[in-house]
Homo-oligomer: A and B are copies of this chain.
């Protein structure tokens, strides 16, 4: 029987790019717009300062742009840093059935290679379709057990997405591509224990850098196992129980994984979104003031409490892992952008008081994009709010206009006017523009930023 990994490598290498449907290329553009916005938005974070300072000490060639900064680093550090930036706000895209964030580990590697090798915007859109296809198929093969066991799937399988996308751009042959996937398999990055620390966004950054490295080495003849995914002591068996590899070898073209991608309207984990939307509805539709509330009970999918059960968050990061803070933000502010997770908001008295009134209970019959909110008011009235599909879910996706608004809100303080030009370029990416027409505009206009 043919190696499963080799079969995957053949599809990566051989699938005719002109057969990728227009709607999939459009979704690649939407993913890029969303990814670029969150990456630029978080680019001034202290964790980015740290890695950038180290990159300067290591001193590689200035090969690729650091988004939101007037500086270039070598391709490896650019992949690491831009991958980190895009996951810092927990505001990047998600494929819900595996909880994979497909963009953060893949786009940074694509962008670095494209800029260094003067590739076109059309090539990078196609490369992302390929990378997403590969990482999500592998995620499907090993999830949910892999994630339940404690792996941060975005980091672990993200490296395969980066290796596949970069390998496609570098025109690896079948054997080289198989080796690239093998080298990537040996370097899984990401434990869920790191959630709430700088190491969480480090995961997709390192996955991008590792995937890039894997394909750069494979291109030069570096060897690895030829069955790294499926072998007895390969990635699938070692990092999960009873993986099912069928999904990896299914023919390409009839269904594209990228079409399952979704984008977040709120700056926190996607499982909290139904609760936030219910909170927003309580304020905007029912006009309820926090002072009038006696108690809130939200019924949630089990994953909500597993991932975001922090009852008394003390800072921005913790608040993002608190369903209580998320719902409170919806009720008080009518939104949950980055500003509603700022440290001073998290500790503000009215916010703390409202959080204490919120209870979350598991309802096993709910889907991940559903919630039921029961408000008991001081006047004795009760309100019930049902969210069937949260905004940003696959059934109720963000529109192109909403994505543009999100991009502008995240980037305008940094790009200071360049953001609209950038948006118009992104919608034209299928036209084979030089990638520099994107990267040159994804930084501040002046050099007042770092370095």
A residues adjacent to B (C-beta < 8 A): 46-47, 50-51, 53-54, 57-61, 63, 74-76, 149-152, 155, 182-183, 185-194, 197-199, 202-203, 206, 213, 216-217, 220-225, 227-228, 231-235, 237-238
User: A233–B51 contact, CB under 8 A?
Assistant: no
Q: Is A54's CB under 8 angstroms from B220's CB?
A: yes
Among A187, A193, A203, A217, chain B packs the most CB atoms within 10 A around the CB of: A193
Whether B183 lies near A199 (C-beta < 8 A) is yes
* Residues in B whose Cβ lies below 8 Å from that of A220: 50, 53-54
**Within the complex, what minimum Cβ distance (angstroms) separates A75 from chain B?**
7
Q: Would A233 and B199 be within 8 Å (CB), given that A191-B185, A228-B191 are in contact?
A: no
* Of the residues B75, B155, B199, contact of A225 by C-beta under 8 Å: B199
Given A191-B233, A233-B150, A238-B151: A198 and B216 interface contact (C-beta under 8 Å): no
A61 CB contacts on chain B under 8 angstroms: 57-59
Question: What's the Cα separation between A185 and B152 when bound, in Å?
Answer: 13
14 A–B contacts, CB within 8 A, in A order: A47-B222, A47-B223, A51-B222, A59-B59, A60-B74, A182-B199, A183-B202, A187-B187, A191-B228, A193-B225, A193-B233, A193-B235, A193-B238, A199-B225
Alpha-carbon distance A192/B57, docked complex (angstroms) = 34
Instruction: Find chain B residues with CB under 8 A from A237 CB.
Output: 150
- The answer for the CA separation of A216 and B50 in the assembled complex, in Å, is 10
In the A-B complex, the 5 residue pairs with the smallest Cβ-Cβ separation, listed nearest first, are A150-B233, A59-B61, A150-B238, A199-B224, A193-B233
Query: B46, B149, B190, B232: which contacts A186 (Cβ < 8 A)?
Result: B190
- Which one of B216, B225, B235 lies within 8 Å of A197 (CB-CB)? B225
Q: Looking across the interface, which residue of chain B has its beta carbon closest to that of A228? A: B193
| Interchain nearest-CB distance for A90 vs B (Å) | 16
Q: Which residue of B lies closest to A230 (CB)?
A: B193
Which partner residue on chain B sits nearest A50 by CB separation?
A: B220
